[in-house]
Every structure is written in C-alpha cells, then in structure tokens.
Structure 1
Amino acid sequence: MDEFNNINNASKEKETNEEKMNEVNQGYTEASITDEPVPFVEKEKPEKTIVKKQSVLSLWLSGLVGGLTVAVIGFLLLFNGVIPFQNEAISNNDTSEPTSSLIQTGTSEDDVSTDMLSNVGEAVVGVANIQDQSLWSESSDAGSGSGVVYKIEDERAFIVTNHHVIDGANSIEVILADGERVEAQLHGSDELTDLAVLSIDKAHVSTVATFGSSEDLVVGETAIAIGNPLGEEFAGTVTKGIISGVNRSLTVDSNQDGQADWTVDVLQTDAAINPGNSGGALINSQGEVIGINSMKIALESVEGIGFAIPIDEAQPIIEQLETEGEVNRPFIGISAVDFSTVPTEHVTRTLNLDPNEVTSGIVIAEVHPNSSAAEAGLETYDVITDIDGTAITNMMDLRQYLYQETNIGDTITVTFYRDGTQSTIDITLQGE
C-alpha cells in the first residue's frame, strides 16, 4: 500500500496545481471605457438680424386683435369638448396601447395570498445542530437551518431538512415559531442527496405543508422561499422570485476531498436564499412545496443564484429515510481514485499501462472484505474502465451508473486492466 500512497499523494499535488490554475483562469467581465477625446466643434457665429421699428399704436392694435382671436377660438373648442388631455395616459377614455414607460408587473393569477403564506410559514421551522465543543464546555449550537413539517402520523410530526444542517450533531432541536425549542429524533440522513428526516411530538405542530410537483415547472413561474436566514432573529422570512432554471445539474464534493462525488439535479431560483434557509421550503403561488432549499452560489460578483432539490426527486428519498433510516443503494465494495489524477510515471511503473492506450477510469485502492468485488476477484491496482459497455471515467461516473441504472441483486459486467492486460468480470451487486 506504500506505493499506492505515493500515487495518491502525487495525485493530490496535481489536484492542488489544477485548482490554482482554475483560480487564475476565473476571469471577469467589465464594461469597456473609451479614452478618446471628444473633438471640439466651434459654434458658428449667428448672423445679425435687422429689426425694423414699428409705431407703438400699430403694435398695440395687432396684439389686441390676436388676443381676441385666440380667446374666441379657445372658447368654441372647449364648449364642443374637443380639446384632448395633454397626457393620454391619465385619460379615462384612453383606449390606446400602454407606452413603453407603463409596464405591467404582474397579473391577478400571480397574486400570492398573505393568508396562504401565513399557513405555509407555520409549517416551516428552525433546526438547531447541537454539538459538544469540548469535554469541559456545555453543548451549544454549531449551526442552524430550516425544516418543513410534511406529515403527522402516530403521534409524531415529520420534518424534512438538509443533511448538511444536522451533520455532526450530538443532538437536534426544532425551533418553533414562538421560539420554543423541542428535542427532535433523527430518522435518517443521506449525504449524496443532502436530505434528512426528523420528527417531534405532534402536540407542538398545527400546520402541515402540502407537497406539489416539480415536474412541469417552467422558467418564469413564481417561486417563494420560506426559512430562517441567519438564524432565529429572522425566523419565518419570506422572499419572492421566479424559477430561473430547471433541470440544472451541479457537481457536489460531499466529503470535501477536492473531488466531485455526485451530480445533483436542482431547481434554480432568484428568490433570496441565505445561510439558515437550507432545508426550508420553496413553494409555488398556490402554496405547494416544489423544492427543498439547499445551496447558493456565494461569490461577491454573483447575485440571485440559489438552488433547491426538486420535490419529485426528494420524495422517494424522504420516504426511505423515514421508514428505513437510510437510502439502500447498490454497492461493489471498493475504494478508488480517478485514473486522471495518477502521475504518468506511476501509470507506467506501478500499473504497467501505456498512458496513450488507457486515458481514463478508476484505480482500485482497496477491496473491501466480503464485498461483491472481493467475491468476484477484483484486486488493488486494477483499473476499471467501463461497466456494461458504459465508460467509467471517474468515481462520480461509477456512483451514477450504479445508483441510477442498477438495482441490488443485478449482475454487471466490469471491464478492467491488470498489469497491462484487459479483462472482464461479472459482479452481483449487494446493498450498502
């Protein structure tokens, strides 16, 4: 394993260099400024005007006649009602199209009832992550987020929140609208989908949120985020925006090792989502939950890009966490690193591969005892390149294929290289 540790350390150094290059390459766009001087244009001199003098009597007579004429014509026009308003926009009889300065900002169909918001808001609670800071200090809040009460059953009120909200907690408390704290039971949590299910005594709950559907959402629909941004002080905050994007895919580094672990499908919204909103509800204009707020892009140059887990994808996970405590997925039984992170000298010397022939895959670092991989005969340093004819270029590809395309008990065909020779092997999948 010492040789493999050398490979792993070298790969991490390579990742660090790539991260530095990515930071350098992240440019920005700014408006261009023209420095060219504006040419000076000399004004033309006005020509002299010759004014002929008139007598005082002729001037007085012409003014009197002109004034009487205007007065008579004005009276006749006003009497017959034919003088239009100068500002047509305020005319009660105006039937013209609105001008470009008069823009409708919404329709009655998009109105959001304050009573509806109040009812849904009561189903959104705070969630406090309680951790022991040291052996000599009392437990305290390590962080807080939000949660959504979605069901009452058998004396318990069930709440969905994010995995990262409760991760590492020694205990969890639900913070009600009146500030009361209630100890919560954790039923299950899933790191990949960033979902967790809690429950409290139903005596503390009077309102349950209604799940809607995220399948038919379109860009531009109303989206309202409800949660506790920045903690208890701003509990029950409501922010309104639109659905900015659907079917977005984001790569997530769940274990913070610098490598993408999973790709999540999310809804994008410009409704303000801040720290503490995580686990709260994203609802539509009918008050139905269409997503669970999860993350945002936090850069100084970025505004209004938040993401929520679509409720149609969240519901099956919520049900498994509630009843089984975990999401049971197909499992091979290996630990591995991406082939692309292995330096060339280790590819040729340790793996005995031609880097021009094999360019992607995953390198097995460990085969777990009594696993499917161990029973099938996979070994350390084997390089897996595809499963059932589907290319496996990295660990994320492996997880996505297993979790989305297979079931526990299925048999898959794995193509791999060992000491420079390509082979195939059949593996029957177990559950994690």
Structure 2
Amino acid sequence: MFDNKNEFLKDSTEVIDVKSKPIKKKKSFINVLIYGIIFSMVGGFALGAGYNFSENYLTGYADSNKASINGGDAEIIDSSLAKKVNYINAESPITDIVEEVGTSIVAITSKVKVRDWYNNQYLQEGEGSGVIFEVNDEGVMIVTNEHVINGAAEVIVTLHDNKQVSASIVGIDSETDLAVLKIDKKDIPEEIADEIVAAKLGDSDKLKVGETAIAIGNPMGYNNTVTVGVISALNRELRLPDKKLELVQTDAAINPGNSGGALVNSRGEVIGINTVKIADTKVEGIGFAIPINSAKPIINELVNSGSVSRPYLGILGKDIDEDISELYELPIGIYIADVVENSAADKAGIRKGDVIIEFEGQKMLTMEQLSQIIKDKNVGDSVTMNIIRNGNEKLEIKAALQQK
C-alpha cells in the first residue's frame, strides 16, 4: 500500500510494533484533548450545580431576593418578608419609630387653683403627656389622661421644638381616665406648623404578649423620653378607688409625667395611652396603658359632645355579704350609704339606709353587679328594684336613669 516505511509513518497517527509482546494502542493527543474537554464540561456542570444547590438551600429564598448597592451601602430586599434591611451602617428601627412618632407626643402642664393655710390662692402645676390624634383646619386635637388635667384652670402644651401654647379642654371622662384638648390654629407658631402631625392609631385587639412596646412621654419634666419593653399581659383588670379599668400591661418604664403619653408598637402605631404604674418599692416594671381600641369611641364622643353619655342611678352603696348580714342583722344585698341629691334615686324616693335586694329581676350581691346592669342601660331607661327599709319593710321602686 505504501512505497516505504517512511511514507507510512508520515500519514499515520499510530505506530504498530509487530515485534513487541502485547499490542498496545496509545491514545493520540487529539483524543486526549477531546476527553479532557468533555470531562471538564461534565465536572464543571456538577460542581456548578452543587454550588447553586448549596446556595439556594442555605439561603432558603435566593430566588426571591435581590441585592443592590447604593451609595456604598449594601441592601438586601427580601420580598418574602416584605422588608428592606440595611446591613451596613444599620440603626435600630426604634430610632426610626421615635423620629416618626416623637413630634406627635406633647408635654402637658396643668395649673390648678389651690389655697394654702392662710387661704391665699395660687396655681399649683402638674405634669403629664399627650398624643396628637388629629390635625385639621381648626387646630390640633390631643388625647391625654383625665387625671392629668382634672380641675385645671389653665393648660399649657409644649409642642415640638419646645414651643409652648395654651390649650382648651374639649371634654373629660373620669370613668375611663381620658380627656381631649384642643389648640386653636391661630395659636400654633408658624415656624413649626408644618411639623405637627397626628400619630397613627393602631389596633390593640391584635396585640400579642411579648411583642415590642415603646413608651414615649415626659416623665419628671424630661421631654420626649423613650423607654422600651414588651407587652407583658392583656386585659388586666385594675381597680382604682373610683373606677375599674381593663388595661394593657407593659414593662416599659412608665413614671410620673408619662401619663397620657403613647404606648407604641414596632410599626410606629399608638396602641395604648399610658395611664398608671404600680408604685411600690417591691415592684419593678409593671405599668399600664388604656388600649387604643377602648379609647377611640370615648375620644370620638368627647370630641362630638364634650362628655360620654352614661346612665346613672345616683347612690353610694356597700356590699352586704353573709358575714355582715349576720353581724348587723341586715338582708344580703346593697346597703345605701348615701343618695346623690336630685339624682334618679333621689327622685324615685330611695333613702339612706335602704337595702337593695333585687334589681331588674336579679338578686343583688355587690355594687359591681349593680353597676354592670346599669352600664348596659341607656339614659332615660326605667328600672325596677326591690328594697328593704327599716329592716322589715319591703318596697318596689321604679326609677328613670339619668345621665352621669
């Protein structure tokens, strides 16, 4: 086929040595190169797939996240959590919340007329806080605690940038410890008028124990003081000398002067109006706020009518339990310690010393029970009660409930 051996070697890629024992076939350079390329492609794909799988598995949401760099700051946008988190030069979100809500919290100074031992009259100052809940063409509306401005002859509000203005009392409700104040638009300094904004009101029915709670107020005269804690409990019943309240409990520090300020959630929404703390050397971190959902209807009614319409019988009563009944030989029921002049009870003929044993068909055991029945009535409703007078005389009396 070939003229000589040299011609064979020139045109072939292989040399066969017929003299060697086993005949071995050597791979040419081209074959080796092809195999190498194929192996690299397969290996590269496997390594790449493994890398991608690891990355996706470890992050859990790599497909939904995008990264961007703006002004030297790396930002990760997590669409699954609807959050934008700045991981470089990041600050606590609480600072943002305080910046946003801070201008809506005001300091309140109430001046009450009092007399000294020599009958000299002077003004005594009290301090508290308030929350701006509405800004309109007429002025600024503020909610605070009733006990902050109770009996005040003059109310001074300290706004943003320490600007002080006079405020008028729109309405008060001692039963819920809420009051509404108003600053007329003409009294607001022009230089800060655009900076005054209403706070966002949240939904206290959605609160959960353990979530962040931020108290903002003016304790001891220190304006815009911020304390942070959690929601410690919900629907706490607190009995005060003249009222019973259902409150939100928090361990965020609430001190004198915080009353009327805001309890804020992690979204910057007001979820409570700070009202009271337990003052005891043995107690630490137990403060309370009026749930904002309980406050909203009271605020609206105070704005619209200046007071909250509540039915009222007009008695001061004491419970007679079995022990007292046996000791004083009185029927079990409610002993009338006093009757308010010109009240519904007074007009119906109820007297001091009478004992209410039945009210609207229910046997009476406590003043709380009686108050709850009246609370569910309307002003003007007629109620029927059975009483014992002089220890043995049983009477049925009807009374038309008046407005408290």
TM-score for both structures, normalised by structure 1 = 0.65
Note the 1:392-403 alignment, pairs <5 A: 392-403=364-375
CA contact (8 A) 1:227 1:238 kept: yes
- Report the residue type matching 2:219 in the other structure: P
Instruction: For residues 220-264 of structure 1, give each alpha carbon's deviation from its aligned partner in whole angstroms, at most 9, with x where no partner exists.
Output: 111110001111xx21011111110001111111xxxxxxx3211
1:118 is aligned to: 99
Q: Secondary structure at the match of 1:215?
A: helix
Mapped partners of 1:150, 1:238: distance in 2 = 19
Q: Distance in 2 between matches of 1:235 and 1:293?
A: 15
CA contact (8 A) 1:294 1:307 kept: yes
2:262 to 258, 276, 281: 281
What is the aligned counterpart of 1:173 among 150, 156, 159? 156
Equivalence for 1:407:
378
Q: Is 2:199 the partner of 1:199?
A: no
Q: How does 1:325-340 map to 2 (within 5 A)?
A: 325-339=306-320
- 1:285-335 Cα deviation digits (max 9, x unpaired): 111111100001111111110000011111111112222121221122334
Q: Secondary structure at the match of 2:162?
A: coil
Q: Which residue of 1 aligns with 2:236?
A: 248
Residue of structure 2 in register with 1:238 after alignment: 226
**Which letter maps to 1:386?**
E
Q: Pairwise mapping of residues 89-168 of structure 1 onto structure 2 (< 5 A)?
A: 112-134=93-115, 140=123, 142-168=125-151
**Aligned twin of 2:356:** 384
Cα offset, 1:266, TM superposition: 0.3
Answer whether contact 2:250 2:288 (CA < 8 A) is retained. yes
Q: How far, CA to CA, are the matches of 2:228 and 2:340 in structure 1? A: 50
Cα deviation, residue 375, structure 1: 4.2
Q: Is residue 365 of structure 1 aligned with residue 338 of structure 2?
A: yes
AA at the equivalent of 1:185: S
CA contact (8 A) 2:332 2:357 kept: no
Output aligned runs, 1:321-360, within 5 Å. 321-339=302-320, 348=328, 354-355=329-330, 358-360=331-333
8 Å Cα contact 2:97/2:266 also seen in 1: no
Cα distance in 2 for residues equivalent to 1:148 and 1:423: 50
CA distance in 2, matches of 1:163, 1:375: 30
Q: Matches of 2:240 and 2:103 in 1, distance apart?
A: 31
Sort the Cα spacing of 1:138 and 1:333 in 2 relative to 1 into closer, same or farther, 3 A: closer
- Counterpart code for 2:214: I
Unaligned runs of 5+ in 1: 1-94, 96-106, 254-260, 349-353
Q: Higher Cα Rg: structure 1 or 2?
A: 2
1:334 and 1:368 in contact (8 A); partners too: no
Separation (CA, whole Å) in 1 of partners of 2:228 and 2:338: 48
For 1:418, the equivalent position in structure 2 comes to: 389
Alignment CA distance shift 1:224-1:374 (3 Å): same
Count how many residue pairs are aligned between Structure 1 and Structure 2: 308
2:160 aligned counterpart, secondary structure: coil
CA contact (8 A) 1:337 1:365 kept: no
Partner deviation per Cα, 1:261-290 (whole Å, 9 max, x = no partner): 321100000111111100000011111111
Q: CA deviation at 1:423?
A: 3.7
**Contact 1:364–1:383, Cα closer than 8 Å, also in 2:** no
- Matches for 1:62-101 after TM superposition, within 5 Å: none
Aligned counterpart, 1:55: none
* Distance apart, 1:393 and its partner CA: 3.6
Pairing of 1:243-322 with structure 2 (within 5 A): 243-253=231-241, 261-322=242-303
Q: 5+ unaligned residues in a row in structure 2: which ranges?
A: 1-57, 59-80, 86-91
**CA distance in structure 1 between the aligned counterparts of 2:168 and 2:325, rounded to whole angstroms:** 50
Contact 1:177–1:236 (8 Å) recurs in 2:
no
Counterpart residue type for residue 146 of structure 2: H
The verdict on how the C-alpha distance between 1:331 and 1:240 changes in structure 2, with shifts beyond 3 A counting, is: same
Q: How far does residue 337 in structure 1 lie from its aligned partner after superposition?
A: 4.2
What is the TM-score with the length of structure 2 in the denominator?
Answer: 0.69
Q: Which amino acid aligns with 2:373?
A: Y
